[in-house]
């Protein structure tokens, strides 16, 4: 049975369609964006109706910060990237979710943002699942 705070939670269909479940963290579901141009993870706090970080309780805000930092450090260590981009935009998908993206000089679109640059390039299914398994092993 889910804790009361998770009751009624449903993942936005766009997030589900464009990313793969990696694992459950304490508060967030960790998902891998299906775009091979950048190592790109998404954390989704399991709180129905949350659109902004300030919609969360103070304890949940602390958990989101902790989990985001944990994932960001792992992604930087794993990829050797120059910069980690972290964002919670929500302009298209209103459901609260946090992007953690590994960036390096020379990657597609550098130094601009990943949004609005080119067309998503999905992974081969086996590569997507292998990367998710590698991430699980590092967390």
Domains of the chain: 11-135 (3.30.428.10)
- Full-model pTM: 0.93
DSSP letter assigned to residue 111 = T
Backbone angles phi, psi at 116, to 5 degrees: 80, 5
pLDDT digits (tens, 9 = 90+) for 29-75: 999 999 999 999 999 999 999 999 999 999 999 999 999 999 999 99
Q: Do the beta carbons of residue 34 and residue 115 sit within 8 Å?
A: no
At residue 8, the pLDDT reads 81
Q: Which of 12, 102, 88, 6 is nearest to 54 (CA)?
A: 88
For the stretch 94-118, pLDDT in tens is 999 999 999 999 999 999 999 989 9
CA dist list (Å): 131 to 73, 110, 111: 16, 23, 24
């Amino acid at each position: 049975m889910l804790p009361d705070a998770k009751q009624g939670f449903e993942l936005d269909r766009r997030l589900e369609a464009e990313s793969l479940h990696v694992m459950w963290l304490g508060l967030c579901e960790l998902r891998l964006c299906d775009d091979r141009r950048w190592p790109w993870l998404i954390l989704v706090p399991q709180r129905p109706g949350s659109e902004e970080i300030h919609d969360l309780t103070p304890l949940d805000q602390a958990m989101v910060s902790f989990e985001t930092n944990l994932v960001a450090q792992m992604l930087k260590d794993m990829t050797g990237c120059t910069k980690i981009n972290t964002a919670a935009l929500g302009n298209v998908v209103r459901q609260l979710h946090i992007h953690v993206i590994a960036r390096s000089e020379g990657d597609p679109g550098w130094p601009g943002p990943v949004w609005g640059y080119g067309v998503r390039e999905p992974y081969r299914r086996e590569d997507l699942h292998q990367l998710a398994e590698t991430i699980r092993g590092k967390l």
